[in-house]
Structure 1
Amino acid sequence: MLRFRNDAIITLSIICLQLPFELVCAHWYEIIGSDILKFGLTTIYLFAIQYFTQIGGKVSVKLIKREKNVSSY
């Protein structure tokens, strides 16, 4: 049950945090006409994704440590 809860937390955080960010970036990319600004937006996007991944990894480790693994011995 704890694993289901942890999976649900991660899934909802991806949907609620990362998806809107990606949609905004895609929208701005379509609006911007300058190639230099598009390159800058892509760079910012890549660094933001690395940051989100780092935070997600930390949250994942904390959730895994809180799980109570029961062996069937």
Structure 2
Amino acid sequence: MALAAAVLTVTLAGCEKKQAENSSGPAEKAGQQIDRAASRAGEELNKFAGKVGQGMEKAGQKLQDEAKQAQQNEARKDQ
């Protein structure tokens, strides 16, 4: 009897899960689309932020190089 009850419970749980997955309403589908769009937007923002970061690094390096060059030019004037 206990075995039959366990089998029945597992079977019913499996049916309910399949039915819940297949019965997505319009609001749930819209929510899933919003989630996917937000995920893609986040990925694009991360790519953009990476490119901005690389540009900032290059600009910082250029400033350092120019400052070093200016110091060298000033040192030559003092000699």
TM-score, length basis structure 1: 0.41
Higher relative contact order (CA 8 A, sep 6+): 1
1 or 2, which has the higher helix percentage? Answer: 2
TM-score, length basis structure 2: 0.38
